[in-house]
A and B are shown apart, each in its own frame.
Chain A
Amino acid sequence: MSELTTLSLTTAMQGLEKGDFSAVELTQAFVDTIEASNGALNAYVVQTPEQALSMAADSDARRKSGQAGRLDGAPIGVKDLYCTKGVRTTACSNILGEFTPTYESTVTQNLWDAGAVMLGKLNMDEFAMGSSNETSRFGPPSNPWRRGGSNAALTAGGSSGGSATAVAADLCLAATASDTGGSIRQPAAFTGTVGIKPTYGRASRWGMVAFASSLDQAGPIAKSVTDAALLTEIMCSHDDKDSTSLNVETPDWVSEVEKGVKGMKIGVPKEYRVDGMPQEIEDLWQQGIDWLKAMGAEIVDVSLPHTKYALPAYYIVAPAEASSNLARYDGMRYGAREDGDGLIGTYEGTRGEGFGAEVQRRLMIGTYVLSSGYYDAYYLRAQKVRTRILQDFQIVFQDVDALLTPTCPSAAFAYGEKTDDPVQMYLNDIFTVTANLAGLPGISVPAGVDNDGLPLGLQVIGKALDEAACFRVAGAIENAAGFAAKPEKWW
């Protein structure tokens, strides 16, 4: 039944509705595939086959009694950032040890309330800090994609590398992910999948292990724009338990996907044409522009003059918030603890052993930029930059409906290629951090492959709360690109 795993979420839901197969059959297919493939791909860090099959059986019962939800019976993978009741949650950090929450995050609860089935917890960069998933305590997942004629293992991007890998390799119908600076969109681009970061505040952060509170946002990685729209609708909700959650209705986004772009005005920001960007990405971007034009959209050149300050501002704000958010991991109440000499020794032992090098680097940066005497020069200034970046977008969005950019300045890269130089790694986020800093929705949609046959993504950034425009434009690109390439199975 392995062909069941290749279905999209939407077609699988249709199959379940028609009774072509049961949720248990569908789930069993994924359980089997994960068992066979996860050793090579390392997408899942916790597998929950028994829970999955039990949830699937419940789903079948509900469907039989006519009470099926919108995702009833759909096997989903969950990024290890989401706290899942009774299932180990560590954000792929040693410091959380064997931490097993007694509570369920709002986003995953929304999925289970809609009938979805949990397959397990997906690999990620430690505390979502990374762009290649190489900082995970469990080692990185392997990108199912490889360069033509090469056996070199590539990263699936990060931090949601496990989610992207699982979706691309058919180890789940779709996956939850999270995006602080591009952690949904970049892995989606690297794996030929669709990933959207909704407007900040659309999805509750309650029960998500925090990285940078003002930037973190939940979203899905899926096989198609429609699948992404469906999952986003279920994941988003107003939540009284999250003070930054927006009290807004979640609209019907699925119906937006096929509406087309006729009459839409799409901006192309010149600042995203950066030095050293591969020609293939330039060409793909142009291709995207041409497609949209051909489908009746108006293309406008626009300027977002403060874009160049986005990355440095991001790498001040995010570590600053992280340095405070991660202070709770002190070995006192839960997670791993390394006893040392006295209280300070125990703190040092626990945090020194528990946090990996990249997390420690960011905690140091964050502590530094918030310290007395440096706060104004770094944190406060970065917040001012952030305001400017938001203003850039607001001005441009008075004139255009959405923006089109590449998702990343490169295709998937090899392990170790950027780990020696953190700045090179950080540069991978250059096109994605702006949407986080401004709180805007951004979607990555696969639009083609490079000369090595690796997938490349285009990004659509929308106005605040206008995910609808993102889905329309991404849907149009998906149709035009007809992206059907699948990785050649090597695992």
Chain B
Amino acid sequence: MSERPTYTLTGDTGTWEVVLGLEVHAQVSSNAKLFSGASTQFGSEPNQNVSLVDAAMPGMLPVINKFCVEQAVRTGLGLNAQINKTSRFDRKNYFYPDLPQGYQISQFEHPIVGEGEIEVDVEPSHGDPAYAFSVRIERLHLEQDAGKSIHDMDPTATYVDLNRSGVALMEIVSKPDIRSPLEAASYVKKLKSIVVALGTCDGDMEKGNLRADVNVSICKPGAYEKFRETGDFGHLGTRCEIKNMNSFRFIQAAIEYEARRQIEIVEGGGSVDQETRLYDPDKGETRSMRSKEDAHDYRYFPDPDLLPLEIDDAFIEGIRVNLPELPDQKRTRFETDYGLSRYDAGVLTADAESADFYETVAKGRDPKLAANWVTQELFGYLNKAELELTESPVSAEQLGGLIDLISGDVISGKIAKDVFQRMIDGEGDPADIVEKHGLKQVTDTGAIESIVDEVIAANPDQAAAVKEKPKSMGWFVGQVMKASGGKANPQAVNKILREKLGL
């Protein structure tokens, strides 16, 4: 694994670095809301999934959904984090029509999950090789989602849909350990892979059930290291928080825009105002949402309708022993059991579907060959075609069959690529394709010998020259392969050519 590169931006006065901390809101996978029995079904008619509690009717009281607590603990364990046996719910008070209670029940001082740490893999990008880095998790807490305000249904009125009101969210807060837009996106990807593997969040960013707020600040080279040594935020620039982004692409674009905006301000002699900003994907820019002065005074205080949340060791252990294999564990297993590189293992374990697909392909076959075919050929194709693995035209069994043909010397790797293309085109099982198109490899040495003889006879000058320059034998290999329609076994061709040319 390669060294972690330093991401820099160049301004008029020199080089700048960025420092990023993320708050990810992950909607808890649960049939019922955090404090009411109402359904969390996505896509229901507006205001269908609203209980008396969600609508904050007079005299209604919250009752914690134990399953959501389990999900938070499960996630905490997946983040290698401290589980707090006592936590507390606080009220965050502010007025808005999509917040019926006039407060959000959240965990302010005493979250259910404390500090943790995860390894994040960064894919190769712009010539930089793949690398990994670790992000410290500061906390995870449970809180209620708000409803949805709909401003464009009527020119003079705002409509409110409370279906989401009271749905459980996990807010996962990182320390400022993230140092580039790509790292930020990679971190969110990693979180997503963990919560999806755990079954604690569906991770569907388009539906908004995984959203990120990014705190962005800039600093000069060396300042971040001083901050890490001392813990003094004074070494870092003033941060702005970009709210509510639900795509990896937006996260990266927003951070890059925001960092450049801050550099421009500072280099122009100004100072960055601490504020909350929104990213506008259409314009590709961030704009101010509210400044620190306008910030709400949330008047946090412990919710007197709820007792402190107490959980015991048995509860935590009961969850721990039933944890599924996490992406990191799976990757380590793939590295050890299949002898894969860390990078390939990481790609294949990024989600359960990929890992399951690979394991089906690799079963009883050369694991490295299987990994190459899955990651290079199949994923390469799917990426280009913008298809999900679940929409793949090639099944794991079919791809395994293709590998069997290669390993059994029935076809060469080169022919295999043609066969694969035909599989994508829907021609069916690889063996049938090979049969139908007569693509079987020629391993009969007699047949190859006669082709070699013909080629040498037809090219006497080259045959003479190759004795002086043995490296140019490749030209003869190409000629022979061509003459065989690509079906000759390349090892046999090499061997026979060497003998006949006297090399």
Contact = CB atoms under 8 A, between A and B. Distances in A.
Interface in B63-78: 63-64
A321 interface: yes
Interface stretch (A109-117, A302-310, A327-335, A478-486): A327-335
A330 B95 contact: yes
Contacts of A379: 301
A402 to B, nearest CB: 27
Nearest to B37: A241
Interface string B303-345: 0111100000000000000000000000000000000000000
B103 A324 contact: yes
A91 interface: yes
Interface string B133-157: 0000000000000000000000000
B60 interface: yes
Nearest to A343: B97
B428 interface: no
B55 interface: yes
B307 A333 contact: no
A370 B93 contact: yes
Interface stretch (A210-218, A264-272, A426-434): A210-218
B297 interface: yes
Contacts of A330: 95, 97, 102
A328 B54 CA distance: 11
A102 B59 CA distance: 12
Contacts of B57: 83, 101, 103, 333-334
B100 interface: yes
A219 B145 CA distance: 35
Given A208-B59, A242-B61, A243-B63, A327 B305 contact: no
Given A242-B61, A347-B95, A324 B102 contact: yes
**Chain A interface, DSSP helix/strand/loop, else mixed:** loop
A209 interface: yes
Contacts of B55: 333
Interface string A368-390: 00111001000100000000000
Nearest to A379: B301
A240 interface: yes
B52 interface: yes
A243 B61 contact: yes
A287 B101 CA distance: 49
A327 B160 contact: no
Contact of B103 (A212, A327, A334, A367): A327
A137 to B, nearest CB: 15
Contacts of A213: 304-305
Given A209-B58, A328-B100, A328-B101, A214 B304 contact: yes
Contact of A371 (B56, B297, B304): B297
Contacts of A397: none
A289 interface: no
B66 to A, nearest CB: 12
A207 interface: yes
Contact of B299 (A212, A324, A328): A324
A185 interface: no
Contacts of A244: 304-307
A205 B63 CA distance: 12
Contacts of A82: 59
Contact of B301 (A103, A241, A320, A333): A320
Q: Which residue, of B58, B61, B160, B304, has the highest number of chain A Cβ atoms within 10 A?
A: B58
B62 interface: yes
Q: Which residue, of A102, A105, A323, has the highest number of chain B Cβ atoms within 10 A?
A: A323
B308 to A, nearest CB: 11
A102 B52 CA distance: 9
**Chain B interface, DSSP helix/strand/loop, else mixed:** loop
A89 interface: yes
B301 A375 contact: yes
Q: Which residue, of A91, A207, A208, A320, has the highest number of chain B Cβ atoms within 10 A?
A: A207
B190 interface: no
Interface in A209-245: 209-210, 212-214, 240-244
B277 interface: no
Contacts of B63: 240-243
A206 interface: yes
A214 to B, nearest CB: 4
Nearest to B160: A332
A99 interface: yes
Given A213-B304, A241-B63, A243-B63, A91 B160 contact: no
A96 interface: yes
A99 B62 CA distance: 21
Contacts of A320: 301
A209 B307 contact: no
A50 to B, nearest CB: 24
B91 interface: yes
Interface string A412-425: 00000000000000
A323 B298 CA distance: 12
B62 A243 contact: yes
Contacts of B56: 328, 333
A370 B61 contact: no
A338 to B, nearest CB: 15
B301 A96 contact: no
A321 B304 contact: yes
Given A324-B299, A328-B56, A372-B299, A333 B100 contact: yes
A70 B416 CA distance: 85
A328 B104 CA distance: 11
A371 B298 CA distance: 8
Q: Which residue, of B57, B60, B100, B103, has the highest number of chain A Cβ atoms within 10 A?
A: B57
A105 B61 CA distance: 11
A332 B98 CA distance: 9
Contact of B58 (A91, A241, A324): A91
Contacts of A367: 299
Contacts of B307: 243-244
A94 B61 CA distance: 22
Contacts of B300: 370, 375
A158 B452 CA distance: 111
Contacts of A89: 58
A99 B56 CA distance: 13
A207 B307 CA distance: 18
Contacts of B306: 243-244
Nearest to A82: B59
B150 to A, nearest CB: 14
Interface string B290-302: 0000000111110
Nearest to B149: A343
B65 to A, nearest CB: 12
Nearest to B56: A328
B59 A205 contact: yes
Contacts of A370: 93, 299-301
Nearest to A90: B58
A312 to B, nearest CB: 18
A243 B60 CA distance: 11
A82 B305 CA distance: 17
A321 B305 CA distance: 10
29 contacts: A83-B58, A105-B59, A205-B59, A208-B59, A209-B58, A210-B58, A213-B305, A241-B61, A243-B61, A243-B305, A320-B301, A324-B299, A327-B101, A327-B103, A328-B58, A328-B100, A328-B102, A330-B95, A330-B102, A332-B97, A334-B57, A343-B97, A347-B95, A367-B299, A370-B300, A370-B301, A371-B299, A372-B298, A375-B299
Given A210-B305, A326-B102, 10 more contacts: A208-B59, A243-B306, A243-B307, A244-B307, A324-B102, A343-B97, A370-B301, A372-B297, A372-B299, A375-B301
Q: Which 3 A-B pairs have the closest CB atoms?
A: A327-B102, A213-B304, A370-B299
